[in-house]
Amino acid sequence: MAYSDNKRNGFCGLMLALCLPLTACSSGEAAVKELAQLRWNALINGDFGAAYQYYTDTFREAVPLRRFKKQTTGVGLWNKAEVATVQCDSSGKRCEAAVKVTVALKMRGMVKPVETSDTVHETWVKEGVFSDWRYIKK
């Protein structure tokens, strides 16, 4: 009976080792999807302080918040954004997000603004086991 228990424990350990990387990837993808959406919501609403928090520490050290506010263009044009897909690499420390961003342009002679959309590709990284996901500005 002890031999059977050892085989079962070994099998369970093996299954756990195989499943953990998959769980880490799927949970990373879910986290990045949520964070990317929150960052875009903040940008659309003109909340630069909230959006700024999602950038890497390196970016925030190089670009102060007041300069970030000045160089960020699109507020007022961006109408909505929706994170379409997120795919993480095998390390679980780098993810690519595809975000469909819609802008509304007022055109002369048109009653309603004209909307157009494009997909923006973003890179998000996680450094260390307990760190937060951060957006890399390219």
Q: At 87, which amino acid appears?
A: Q
Question: Of the spans 20-24, 62-66, 103-107, which averages the highest pLDDT?
Answer: 62-66
**What pLDDT is recorded for position 1?**
52
State which residues form the domain around 45. 2-136
> Residue 39: which of 118, 113, 97 has the closest Cα?
97
Calpha distance 134→104 (Å, rounded): 28
* CATH code of 91's domain: 3.10.450.50
Q: For the chain, how many structural domains are there in total?
A: 1
Number of H helices, E strands in the chain: 4, 4
In this prediction the pTM is: 0.77
Both ends of the chain: CA-CA distance in Å? 59
pLDDT in tens, 48-87: 999 999 999 999 999 999 999 999 988 888 999 999 999 9
Q: Is the pLDDT of residue 21 over 80?
A: no
